[in-house]
Amino acid sequence: MIGGGIVRLKLSEPPDSIGRMFDKAVVAELAGLVDRLAELPSAAGDDATRIDVIAGLEKLKAAAYAAQLRVIADFAASQEAANKAMGIEARQAQRGIPEQIGWARKVSPASAARQLGQARALIDQMPDTYGLLLQGEISEHVATIVTTETSHLAVEDRRLVDKKLADQLPRLSPKRAHAATRRLAIEADPAGAVRRAGNAREDRRVSSRPAPDTMAVLSALLPCEQGVAAYAALRRHSEAAVAAGDDRTLNQIMADTLVERLTGQATADAVSAEIGLVMTDAALFAGDDTAADLTGYGPIPADLAREIARGAGDGAAQPGEAETRAAARARIFLRRLFTEPVTGVIENCDPRRRRFDGVLARLLVYRDQQCRDPFCDAPIRHLDHIEAFAAGGPTICENGRSVCQRGNYARQMPGFSVRLIDPTRHVVEVSTPTGHRYRSSAPTSPGANRRPPLRQSYPRRT
């Protein structure tokens, strides 16, 4: 009996057939549970009952996540064994596994890979923490904290920390759980903690991500003394500028100074760049308010796009005029991008300033904007032939797609295939070894005669 429903099996059925019937019953039960939750009455009962329901749903979320981790670990082990059985080297046998997990969860492969690592750690090395998660006694967030803060420990030390945490975790907030886990991890391996701090300096890096209202966050992960010194230098300079009568705020001066010192520009807004600015002719010339797209960032207001476009003309100013425009504003090269008028898919571009092959590469990046694998938000690293070049696939825009490094390697694994099923909207379908199929379409450009958006489909079995 599953969830109150009786599944009758014939004794004559082979074991594999019985297993498939059971699996289908589990999938059907999960779908029914989703329907039941959607029908959960919101107005029934008093407020005390509502609090009990909130607590119960929280436990259900945690238990469901724990169950998902178990299935993920089992799936990964099965796929890895199958790949090795086909003669694939052990170091490559895990390729394509995070992609399949991520597409099923509608998250990026990188996120799925992290969850797979967490599943293996909790199930194999931290059974007490996993048991608390499975019972709904701790949240997914707390379980993630525990696995992250103990990731550097040997298996024996990790299990020791797991046992010591078991009694206290259900009573701790995420912040306190973080502190308790870190303390126990340091005590379990003091020398390792020092060594880890030293190794962390090897991971210093700079990153950028979009922020609301056409802003961006530029972050630097630095050794502590370097970070403190850099911030102090910016602040000292900015305080001196304010004291000298600069009418900008302290934070504005710090931000502008950072850009100027990093780029060597005379002023922060004198940015030299070739910009993939996608906007309609009406937005550019007639004051239309259709939002534009800035490649590498995303949608921006039409007014700001026009301001950027006007900036391109400043670069042509005479030397005498440049002094009145903040020490010669940069030249901003605008590349014309041509779209299919109905679907809005970018299909050609102005070849000026680049050889044909360079233009084609940029066109794919402008069109796709980020990795074209379903649900993957990673930056573009490879330009891939949909129909493989070795199989006679042409090097043309229609047969190209922009992908991350992980996605390009995954498609080389047995059982994966990629095909173009709708050239007009550039809909690409990826098939996996389990027979599931996932689709993605090229982003729609501003101002297109939009049809109903193509949703990335639920998986279908072959």
CA 186 to chain centre: 31
Residue owning tokens 């550019």: 284
Q: Which amino acid is at 364?
A: L
The ranges assigned to domains in the chain are: 22-203, 346-441
How much of the chain exceeds pLDDT 70, in percent? Answer: 75
* pLDDT over threshold 80, residue 26: yes
Compute, in degrees rounded to 10, the torsion defined by CA atoms 400, 406, 412, 417. Answer: -60
User: Alpha-carbon distance 205 to 224, whole Å?
Assistant: 13
* Across 76-90, 126-140, 347-361, 384-398, least confident range: 347-361
Given a contact cutoff of 8 angstroms between Cβ atoms, the answer to whether 116 and 72 are in contact is yes
Asked if residue 4 has pLDDT above 70, the reply is no
Mean pLDDT within 75-100: 93
For the chain, give the mean pLDDT: 80
Query: Do the bridges between strand 427-431 and strand 417-422 make them parallel or antiparallel, or are there none, so unpaired?
Result: antiparallel
Q: How are beta strands 273-275 and 205-211 bridged, if at all? A: unpaired
Q: Which of 338, 440, 310 is nearest to 397 (CA)?
A: 338
What's the pLDDT band for 41 if we cut at 50, 70, 90? Answer: confident
For residues 8 and 16, what is the distance between their CA atoms, to the nearest angstrom? 15
Nearest to 277 by CA among 343, 347, 340, 333: 333
Strand partners, 216: 210
- What is the model's pLDDT at position 134? 95
> Is the sign of the CA dihedral 37, 43, 44, 47 positive or negative?
positive
Q: 44 falls in which pLDDT band (50, 70, 90)?
A: low
The pLDDT value given to residue 325: 45
Burial of residue 457 (number of CB atoms within 10 Å: 0-12, 13-18, 19+)? middle
SS3 104: helix
Q: Give the whole-number percent of the chain exceeding pLDDT 90.
A: 41
Token look-up 């052990």 returns 90
Q: How confident is the model at residue 43 (pLDDT cuts 50, 70, 90)?
A: low
Helix (H) / strand (E) element for 243: namely helix 224-243
Mean per-residue pLDDT, 165-172 = 94
Rounded to the nearest 5°, which phi and psi values hold at 290? -65, 125
Backbone angles phi, psi at 39, to 5 degrees: -95, 5
Whether residue 349 contacts residue 400, with contact meaning beta carbons closer than 8 Å, is answered with no
User: How sure is the predictor about 318, in pLDDT bands with cuts at 50, 70 and 90?
Assistant: very low
Which residue is associated with the tokens 């991500």? 209
| pLDDT score, position 231 | 93
The tokens for 457 are 């489909």
> Average pLDDT for residues 267-292, to the nearest whole number?
66
| Contact yes or no for 153/189 (Cβ under 8 A) | yes
**94: how many CB neighbours lie within 10 A of its CB?**
16
Query: What is the number of other CB atoms lying within 10 angstroms of the CB of residue 7?
Result: 14
**Cβ distance 440 to 373 under 8 Å?**
yes
CA distances from 371 to 345, 348, 367, 379 (A): 16, 19, 11, 6
- The C-alpha atoms of residue 163 and residue 181 are separated, in whole angstroms, by 11
CA 145 from centroid of its chain's CA atoms: 20
Provide the H-helix boundaries in 244-325.
250-263, 281-285, 302-314, 319-322
User: Do residues 347 and 339 make contact, with C-beta atoms less than 8 angstroms apart?
Assistant: yes
More confident call, 361 vs 94? 94
Q: Would you state the pLDDT for residue 393?
A: 83
Whose CA is closest to 235, among 255, 212, 262, 263? Answer: 255
| 342 pLDDT higher than 90 | no
Strand-pairing partners, residue 299, are: 293
Q: CA-to-CA distance for 402 and 296, rounded, in angstroms?
A: 13
Tell me how far apart the alpha carbons of residues 241 and 262 are, in angstroms, rounded to a whole number: 18
Identify residue 102 by its one-letter amino acid code: G
Token duo for residue 297: 């960032």
Whole-number pLDDT of residue 454: 43
Q: Above 50 in pLDDT, residue 99?
A: yes
Q: Is the pLDDT of residue 313 over 60?
A: no
Name the amino acid, one letter, at 48: A
pLDDT digits (tens, 9 = 90+) for 174-196: 999 999 999 999 999 988 877 87
User: What's the pLDDT at 16?
Assistant: 54
Cβ 314 vs Cβ 325: under 8 Å:
yes
Residue range 212-235, pLDDT digits in tens:
887 888 999 998 889 989 999 999
Calculate mean pLDDT across residues 438-450.
74
Among 143-152, 271-280, 359-368, 448-457, whose mean pLDDT is lowest? Answer: 448-457
Average pLDDT, integer, range 323-342: 50
